[in-house]
Copies of this chain bind each other. A is one copy, B any other.
Amino acid sequence: MTDGSNEEALYTGLFADDEIASLFGARAQVRTAVAFETALTAALHATGRIGADAKAEALARLSEYTPDFAALEQGGLHDVVFVPAFVRALREGMAAPEAIHTGATSQDVIDTGLVIILISINEIVQRRGHHMLKALEALVDRIGTARMMAHTRMQPAIAIDARHRVGSWATMSEEMLASMNVAANDAALLQLGGAVGDRAAFGDDASAIAAHMADELGLRDPGRAWHTDRQTVVRFASALAVLSGGLGKIGQDVALMAQAGPEVLRLDGGGGSSAMPHKKNPVKAEVLVALARVTAGQVGTMTGAIVHEQERSGAAWMVEWMVLPQMAQATGRGLTLAAELIGQIEAVGQADAPST
């Protein structure tokens, strides 16, 4: 959200989600990188590849590490990833520098970090989703027995209880949230492959190291690297876009109900017009529709980024970085707005007979 400087547009707050944005921020990135390296050092020791002293020195470094963000960012601009600069800084002056990062590659660090972030995103999504479902329950209590006109293909059809429409929002959202859980769980995979993804640098200890790390990080070991197999990331993105699309359906319905036609909806709050002060625009409903359209386009771009060539793709990987954080923010923001919007619905009007 803008602090009044010229950094961001005045409308940024409509779409932005600070809590989710911070998950992708520099601080969070470094935190996940430290977690990865800590788990790796422990695993290297557990499998006898480094000694107790080396382990102790490395863990001390990691726990005391204070990032020089400017240097890490410069490193990232040079190497695409901040990991080489990060590892250099950690290892500097160590007696046994090989106790950190040995056998791993930058993508292992970044992708494992991504997975940790995806799990956090899902936690936020579930929490807000639960809140929204509660708001839907309360809405059914408030207006569920009101009669309203069902509309099919934008034409008045047959009168229904409002709880039929609102209930369909709830069951749809519940299932989409469940699907987010599935996607987050499927994506909860340690990334560990080393330079070309074959874990060769770990020799016979590869599986033991991976198992140890996965355990430490609360992830699963898929038994191989997934450097170029992005399906779990894309399915997570798809689950976000589907959920965002569902919120868009709710927003579209509210916008149509708020048209002041035979299907009346009374909102508490709503934006004004500089030319027509009598108007009450269903701002949040509009934002939900907009967010749904944008995430739908983004999921296409994310799906195209599955084509990761050879043993590691630079370009396709960066596409993920540009798109996925925005999708998470848009979906998260949508959940907050939807819960608020649902809470604002005061009444649904009496249904008229269909016009002839």
Contacts and interface: CB of A to CB of B under 8 A. Distances in A.
B242 A9 contact: no
Contacts of A146: none
Contact of A304 (B245, B272, B273): B245
A235 B238 contact: yes
Given A299-B300, A303-B241, A25 B11 contact: no
A11 to B, nearest CB: 5
Contacts of A255: 154, 314-315
Interface in A166-207: 168, 171-172, 175-176, 179, 194-198, 200
18 contacts: A5-B25, A15-B318, A84-B273, A151-B310, A152-B195, A155-B258, A157-B276, A160-B198, A175-B229, A179-B231, A195-B275, A238-B303, A249-B309, A252-B309, A260-B355, A279-B354, A282-B314, A290-B322
A195 B157 contact: yes
A226 to B, nearest CB: 8
Interface stretch (A26-34, A57-65, A133-141, A209-217): A26-34
Given A283-B80, A313-B153, A259 B261 contact: yes
Contacts of A96: none
Given A195-B275, A297-B298, A315-B255, A249 B307 contact: yes
A287 interface: yes
Given A78-B271, A84-B272, A248-B307, 18 more contacts: A2-B26, A9-B321, A79-B274, A106-B273, A151-B312, A154-B259, A157-B273, A158-B195, A164-B196, A165-B310, A176-B231, A238-B242, A252-B309, A255-B315, A294-B319, A297-B323, A299-B299, A300-B301
Nearest to A297: B301
A228 interface: yes
Interface stretch (A40-48, A67-75, A124-132): A67-75
A256 interface: yes
A105 interface: yes
Interface residues of A, number: 141
Contacts of A29: 9-10
Contact of A290 (B69, B164, B315): B315
Contacts of A290: 314-316, 318-319, 322
Interface of A: 1-11, 13-15, 21-22, 24-30, 69-70, 72-73, 76-84, 87, 101, 104-106, 109, 150-158, 160, 164-165, 168, 171-172, 175-176, 179, 194-198, 200, 224, 228-229, 231, 234-235, 238, 241-242, 245-246, 248-249, 251-253, 255-256, 258-264, 271-276, 278-283, 286-287, 289-301, 303-316, 318-319, 321-323, 325, 354-356
